[in-house]
Structure 1
Amino acid sequence: MTKRTFMTEKGPRSVGPYSTATIYNGFVFVSGMGPIDPNTNKVIASSVEEQARTMFTNVKTVLEELGSSMNDVLKVTLYLKDIQDFALVNQIYKEFFDKDYPARTTLQAGKLPLDFSMEVDVIAAYKEK
């Protein structure tokens, strides 16, 4: 098995020295994604719902760029600056996943990169082409 890294051309660019995703042994590990507009690479300043929608859209974009999808996601780790946003983010989360939801951990994080209000990383099943 060979480890392969991936840099997105359609999603937001990394804000540090790391790849957008790593592919290994039938899995894709997507790096943390925040509410960044992929056109400007700037954090969006809007409602919690719109930030969550942007964040999950970024993950979806990267997975689709790799030939995968949100239906292939096995594990989600969600970091919220304010745990009070949990219910609002859950409503948006349901827009991106079918009823067979992936396993998930949600944490309140003290400080996130670029002062994100939220960030998510995922692990998905991956089939090499």
Structure 2
Amino acid sequence: MRKVIDTGLPRGKSPVELAAVANGTLYVCSIPSRGDGSIVDGGIEAQTEQTLRNLKQSVEAAGATMDDVVQVQVFLSGEEHFQGMNAAYAKFFNAPYPVRATFIAGIIVPGANIEILAQADVSHVNK
């Protein structure tokens, strides 16, 4: 059974949830949005940091930590953003790192150059 997590983050107008748990796994989607829903500017490092702060907030709302994140899928609007994303990404995870794949994709959110999907083990979290 799926349980939607209240992340405290702005949801926007699309018919989506930002985080849900099913069978001991947390599924999260994160973009570089501020609390008011606007997209962070200032380059890929700033956008990556905001996206990962939002991811961390979602993970913690589910009762877990970033060390519980098992897999991350990073979507970038262009390959020129890879090094900046990687530099900011390293600030949020400890070894052993989550399994990660990075894709170049057309991102639909206006102004966003990054979107992240992640899965975390929350089977140990008290229900």
TM-score over 0.5 for the pair: yes
Offset at residue 7 of structure 1 (A):
3.0
Q: Which runs of 5+ in 1 are unaligned?
A: none
| Corresponding residue for residue 23 of structure 1 | 21
Secondary structure, counterpart of 2:11 in structure 1: coil
Structure 2 unaligned blocks of 5 or more: none
CA distance, structure 1, for counterparts of residue 99 and residue 48 of structure 2:
18
Secondary structure of the 1:84 match is: helix
1:91 counterpart (83, 87, 92): 87
Match of 2:32 among 35, 38, 41: 35
Pairwise CA RMSD = 1.4
**1:106 matched to which residue of 2?**
102
When the two structures are superposed, what TM-score results if normalisation uses the length of structure 2?
0.91
Runs of 4+ in 1 over 6 A off after TM superposition: none
Cα distance in 2 between the residues matched to 1:3 and 1:13? 18
Of Structure 1 and Structure 2, the greater helix share is in 1
Q: 1:15: how far off?
A: 4.3
Tell me, yes or no, if the aligned pair for 1:12 and 1:58 is still in contact at 8 Å.
no
1:81 is aligned, of 77, 80, 87, to 77
* Distance change (3 Å), C-alpha of 1:21 and 1:62: same
Higher strand share: 1
Aligned identity (percent) is 26
Contact in 1 for aligned 2:64/2:125 (Cα 8 Å) = no
1:119 to 115, 122, 125: 115
TM-score w.r.t. the length of structure 1 is 0.89
Partner Cα separation in structure 2 for residue 72 and residue 92 of structure 1 = 19
